[in-house]
Amino acid sequence: MEYRRLGRSGLKLSALSYGSWVTFHNQVDVDRAVESLALAYDHGVNFFDNAEGYAYGRSEEVMGAALAKLSWPRDRYCVSSKVYFGPVAEPVPTQRGLSRKHVMDACHQALQRLRVDYLDLYFCHRPDPDTPIGETVRAMHDLVAQGKVLYWGTSEWSAGEIAAAHAHARADNLTPPTMEQPEYNLFARHKVEVEYTRLYQEFGLGTTTWSPLASGLLSGKYADGVPQDSRFALPGYEWLRKRLESPLGRRQVAAAAELGKLAGTLGCSTAQLAIAWILGNPWVSTVILGASRPGQLRENLGALAMAEKLTPEIRKRIESISAA
Ligand code: NDP
């Protein structure tokens, strides 16, 4: 495993990490979670990503039960949660957003569900237009001061919103955000490659990037329709299937097939090639992998070896295929 600093902080995260969105609870029970988490850990993965909104808290419960079974030393791994969407399908106003009230409640609930004393990383899952940024910055700072959170950050905030959080922190001598969690894959590049560039230089922003395979599309497995055991066939995820059937989705399926041909010539899988390409971006602190079964995780962890083999020419070829 390769370890990278989380931005300018001293925390070193494994370049490949493992997240539980969609999978834990919906597709993965505690025993399967134990299997996948152990596989990741044995490969050197030290960061596991979660959120209050994943399966309305039940993803955190599955991960918490699995972590309890695994009983790894707490100083050998990092775990995260995120606040914003709320822990139930229809949250009342105090149960969602980034008010001081909900930031505090969600943190305490995540600690209980994950069965840990502190969160290594805690994210504001989306910006909240109904809460002044300064209120959220102070709530996060207080959680850091209380030792309940070690590093706080944002997810899918604009560069301007992240800069505003830094300005509030500087003005009031509070802890600024350390990292952002943006989508980053061959089909979603703008935020990481263009919008955030000044933040890496100015604030030493770290990134924990999500959906490296665009929800599985970049594995190439959707070329012949939707496999019944896949995320796109799950109840509640019809929106993914719709996206797949749109003109853009169809172009992306074709691009994934083209990438598959290139991967074949390089002796790796399509998923490995797509993940290896992400690892080539030095502004990425860690790529959060998703996997609903251990075999996928094992395959995706193989991207690390592939990353070393990607020459600038191969990267260009990959980028021209995915932009087509
Ligand atoms: P991916 O884009 O990599 O999709 C993962 C899914 O693709 C798997 O669950 C599996 O689905 C399929 N898959 C993975 N590997 C393979 C393979 N080798 N061959 C075939 N199919 C494969 O990642 P996610 O979208 O899951 O995102 C990763 C993590 O990022 C999440 O778990 C979460 O922690 C974080 N995230 C954060 C968000 C945010 O807003 N901050 C939003 C989304 C994710 P299937 O069951 O269909 O086989």
How does pLDDT run across 146-187, given as a tens digit for each residue? 999 999 999 999 999 999 999 999 999 999 999 999 999 999
Q: Is the pLDDT of residue 10 over 90?
A: yes
User: Which of 54, 184, 196, 222 is the catalytic position?
Assistant: 54
Compute the mean pLDDT over every residue in the chain, rounded to the nearest whole number.
Answer: 97
**Cβ of 230 less than 6 Å from ligand 1:** yes
Ligand 1 atom with minimal separation from the 300 CA:
18
Q: Is the pLDDT of residue 195 over 90?
A: yes
SS3 of 235, please?
Answer: coil
**Cβ of 155 less than 6 Å from ligand 1:** yes
- Eight-class DSSP state of 120: E
**Cβ of 53 less than 6 Å from ligand 1:** no
**Cβ of 48 less than 6 Å from ligand 1:** no
Q: Are 287 and 212 in contact (CB under 8 A)?
A: yes
**Which pLDDT score, from 0 to 100, does residue 193 have?**
98
Dist. CA 8 → ligand 1 center (Å): 27
Dist. CA 61 → ligand 1 center (Å): 19
Q: Are 263 and 278 in contact (CB under 8 A)?
A: no
| 310/276 Cα distance (integer angstroms) | 8
Ligand 1 atom with minimal separation from the 214 CA:
2
| 255/322 Cα distance (integer angstroms) | 5
Long-range interactions of 158-163: CB distance < 8 A, separation 24+? 158/127, 158/195, 159/195, 159/196, 159/198, 159/199, 161/127, 161/133, 162/196, 162/199, 162/203, 162/205, 163/199, 163/202, 163/203
φ and ψ at 137, to 5 degrees? Answer: -60, -45
- Residue type (1 letter), 319: E
pLDDT band at 324 (very low <50, low <70, confident <90, very high): confident
Evaluated on CA atoms 242, 248, 252, 255, the torsion sign reads: positive
Contacts of 211 (CB under 8 A, 6+ apart): 183, 184, 185, 188, 290
Q: Is the pLDDT of residue 42 over 90?
A: yes
For residue 244, the surrounding DSSP H or E stretch is helix 238-245
End-to-end, the C-alpha distance of the chain in Å comes to 33
| 99/54 Cα distance (integer angstroms) | 20
Residue 302 tokens, joined: 């193989």
**How large is the average pLDDT for residues 95-118?**
98
**Cβ of 45 less than 6 Å from ligand 1:** no
Among 215, 222, 299, residue to substitute to test ligand 1 (most atoms within 8 Å of Cβ): 215
Among 219, 239, 286, residue to substitute to test ligand 1 (most atoms within 8 Å of Cβ): 219
**Which pLDDT score, from 0 to 100, does residue 57 have?**
96
- Eight-class DSSP state of 26: T
Q: Nearest 5 degrees, angle CA 245-CA 191-CA 205?
A: 140
| 51/28 Cα distance (integer angstroms) | 16
* Domains detected in the chain: 3-323 (3.20.20.100)
For residue 22, with 0-12 CB atoms within 10 Å meaning exposed, 13-18 middle and 19 or more buried, which class applies?
buried
Ligand 1 atom with minimal separation from the 269 CA:
18
**Cβ of 207 less than 6 Å from ligand 1:** no
Dist. CA 308 → ligand 1 center (Å): 23
| 307/277 Cα distance (integer angstroms) | 7
| 10/12 Cα distance (integer angstroms) | 6
Among 26, 47, 156, 213, residue to substitute to test ligand 1 (most atoms within 8 Å of Cβ): 213
Q: Of the candidates 187, 176, 206, which has an alpha carbon nearest to the alpha carbon of residue 47?
A: 206
**Which pLDDT score, from 0 to 100, does residue 323 have?**
87
**Cβ of 181 less than 6 Å from ligand 1:** yes
| 314/277 Cα distance (integer angstroms) | 9
Identify whether 118 is a catalytic site residue: no
Dist. CA 253 → ligand 1 center (Å): 16
- Eight-class DSSP state of 214: G
Dist. CA 241 → ligand 1 center (Å): 15
For residue 286, the surrounding DSSP H or E stretch is strand 286-289
Q: Is the pLDDT of residue 92 over 90?
A: yes
Residue 130 tokens, joined: 């109904």
What is the tens place of the pLDDT at every residue in 199-255?
A: 999 999 999 999 999 999 999 999 999 999 999 999 999 999 999 999 999 999 999
Q: How far is CA 189 from CA 120, 124, 153, 196, 319, in A?
A: 27, 21, 20, 11, 10
Dist. CA 135 → ligand 1 center (Å): 32
What is the tens place of the pLDDT at every residue in 262-285?
A: 999 999 999 999 999 999 999 999
Half-sphere exposure of residue 286, counting CA atoms within 13 Å on the CB side?
30
